[in-house]
DNA sequence: GCGCCGCTTCGCCCCCGGCCGAAGGACAGC
DNA sequence: GCTGTCCTTCGGCCGGGGGCGAAGCGGCGC
């Protein structure tokens, strides 16, 4: 009873188009100011303020004041995972909009993207499979742990394992709606993504349109990234 | 844009307490009549009818008329998976209600339960791990396939593999909110659960209270079930 | 100190949607 | 065919919540 009530409360926070647009924008993993989010949602500043207050109060969004700006981000990777799940269901249930591509951002989006703070899409799934296939990560209760070989290999790639361990969950699964498989989340997933971006193995694709909430989530594998990740983890990618 | 709109539309369907109660009840995997769902939600027949019409129209619930009754069930296992994800987030975000047990149904619910049509909880996760650990199932693109040994072993257990193949997805992962690990879904997951119930290795726990929507999801492992599943798949379970 | 800018609060309007009672349609059993 | 049951549709009421403009508050820069 109380359970289904909490359930509905969370859903109500996601049910408003303006809030949904804000959350979708925050899925890119970057912290945005209230003004930016108001523009993304297409509403005025007062309305945005009220929406954000409710999201923060509901525990979905965290806020950190900085000077005269207030930066908002998703409260946790769990929130991101749930949003991804809902997006996948929306895609599966909604009448595919006539045109062949079922998601407006299509192929590039399915190939490689950010899921809040870690990698998703075909690339994310392939990375997870590569890590498990080489025995760099091994399943343990509640998630994954690194093997000795994995420690060495990941460190050689430049992944900050110390930072990865400083998180509540070191490595766990996150559902990938487009591939219907798991990809790696948790501290390790975050640091792996950070490493790939830092070394320019992956670059963010620029958004074509201003205000495109999904724009900053798309990633492109660079030739160097394909070589390095392919050599070490067997990730083959024919992404554009 | 159109994406976030669809997203919000689905969330709006889940945002009403009455609809949430109905969907939660349907998570047990059984088809219920409109009248039963009205009672579960604590509303009158007209209101329930309107809610169900919206759920059906939104693609979350399927209906099959039978005589003068109309039986409702979740439209797909994907819907069930999303509901589970939302429930997990609600549990994580909501202030744990003072008492130690975070979900009202506590231990038994975490130990073994139905996730729509397949097994979840510690038992579901352990089953998935056991199947993968023995090489009965092997990862393939988009999910899992059975090995030769797995075919023989599952058939020996009494799992109807032909029926399992008759589904859109043979075997795929489903997120388990309580364990934060994957358990087995898809046709194979469904037939495995059906087999366990048919052979009385698992039995449904009776609901203590009338109208308890989660009641029929709780499962108990019988001594015979512990023996058979433990022998063949190494599933150790200390569930009550 | 003054003005600018980002954000919030307040007051107000309006509309969406949830609920019920009553009436209407459909199906099974006698 | 009549009656009872299950479910839906219709009409009407009401509350919650989203939107904006105006005003208030606080940090920053000239």
B32 & B82 share domain: no
Domain that holds residue B110: 78-233
Q: Is residue B240 assigned to a domain?
A: no
A9 & A69 share domain: yes
B18 & B87 share domain: no
Alpha carbons B152 and B231: distance in angstroms, whole number: 15
A116 & A181 share domain: yes
The answer to whether strand D lies under 7 Å from the CB of residue A70 is no
> pLDDT confidence of B205, banded at 50, 70, 90?
confident
Q: Which residues share a beta bridge with A220?
A: A203
B118 & B229 share domain: yes
Q: Is residue B238 assigned to a domain?
A: no
Inter-chain residue contact A20 with B1, CB threshold 8 Å = no
A42 & A111 share domain: no
* Domain at B13, CATH number: 1.10.10.10
Return the nearest residue to D9, CA–C1'. Answer: B46
Inter-chain residue contact B6 with A91, CB threshold 8 Å = yes
A224 & A194 share domain: yes
Distance of C1' in D16 from CA in A51, Å: 15
Q: How much is the pLDDT for B189?
A: 92
Inter-chain residue contact B92 with A81, CB threshold 8 Å = no
Instruction: Look at residues B75, B101, B133 and tell me which one is the last residue of a structural domain.
Output: B75
Distance of C1' in D12 from CA in B67, Å: 32
B92 & B193 share domain: yes
Cβ of A166 under 8 Å from any chain B Cβ?
Answer: no
User: Which run of H or of E encompasses B217?
Assistant: none
Q: Is residue A239 assigned to a domain?
A: no
Span A28-58, pLDDT tens digits: 888 999 999 999 999 999 999 999 999 999 9
Alpha carbons B148 and B135: distance in angstroms, whole number: 9
Instruction: Look at residues A26, A59, A75 and tell me which one is the last residue of a structural domain.
Output: A75
Span B45-85, pLDDT tens digits: 999 999 999 999 999 999 988 888 899 999 998 899 899 88
User: CA of A160 to nearest chain B CA: how many angstroms apart?
Assistant: 24
A71 & A59 share domain: yes
Q: For every residue of chain A, which 3-state class applies, written as one string?
A: CHHHHHHHHHHHHHCCHHHHHHHHHHCCCCCEEHHHHHHHHCCCHHHHHHHHHHHHHCCCEEEEEECCEEEEEECCHHHHHHHHHHHHHHHHHCCCCCCCCCCCCHHHHHHCEEECCEEEHHHHHHHHHHHHHCCCEEEECCEEEECHHHHHHHHHHCCCHHHHHCCCCCCEEEEECCCCEEEEEHHHHHHHHHHHHHCCCEEECCCCCCCCCCHHHEEEECHHHHHHHHHHHCCCCCCC
A70 & A93 share domain: no
A134 & A35 share domain: no
Q: Which positions of strand D lie within 7 Å of protein CB atoms?
A: 4-11, 17-23, 26-28
Residue of A nearest to B177 (CA): A78
Average pLDDT, chain B: 83
Instruction: Look at residues A54, A75, A96 and tell me which one is the last residue of a structural domain.
Output: A75
Asked if B190 contacts B174 with a C-beta cutoff of 8 angstroms, the reply is no
Span A73-127, pLDDT tens digits: 999 988 998 998 898 888 887 755 544 444 545 666 778 888 888 998 888 888 8
Q: Which residues contact B22 (CB under 8 A, 6 or more apart)?
A: B37, B40, B41, B48, B51, B52, B55, B72
Determine the average pLDDT of the residues in A227-236.
Answer: 76
A199 & A118 share domain: yes
Q: Is residue B201 assigned to a domain?
A: yes
Q: Is residue B239 assigned to a domain?
A: no
Give B 50-69 residues with CB within 8 A of chain A: 58-60
């Amino acid at each position: 009873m109380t359970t289904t009530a909490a359930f509905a409360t969370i859903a109500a926070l996601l049910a408003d188009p303006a809030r949904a647009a804000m959350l979708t924008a925050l899925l890119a993993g970057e912290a945005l100011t209230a003004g930016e989010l108001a523009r993304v949602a297409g509403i005025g500043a007062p309305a945005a303020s009220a929406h954000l207050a409710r999201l923060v109060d509901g525990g979905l969004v965290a806020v950190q004041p900085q000077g005269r700006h207030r930066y908002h981000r998703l409260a946790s990777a769990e929130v991101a995972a749930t949003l991804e799940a809902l997006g996948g269901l929306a895609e599966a249930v909604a009448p595919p909009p006539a045109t062949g591509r079922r998601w407006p951002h299509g192929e590039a989006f399915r190939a490689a993207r950010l899921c809040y703070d870690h990698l998703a899409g075909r690339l994310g799934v392939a990375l997870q499979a590569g890590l498990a296939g080489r025995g760099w990560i091994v399943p343990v209760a509640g998630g994954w742990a690194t093997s000795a070989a994995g420690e060495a290999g990941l460190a050689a790639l430049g992944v900050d394992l110390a930072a990865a361990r400083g998180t509540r969950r070191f490595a766990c699964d996150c559902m990938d709606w487009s591939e219907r498989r798991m990809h790696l989340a948790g501290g390790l997933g975050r640091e792996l993504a950070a490493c790939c971006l830092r070394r320019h193995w992956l670059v963010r694709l620029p958004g074509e349109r201003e205000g495109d909430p999904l724009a900053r989530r798309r990633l492109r594998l660079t030739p160097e990234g394909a070589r390095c990740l392919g050599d070490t983890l067997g990730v083959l990618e024919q992404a554009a």
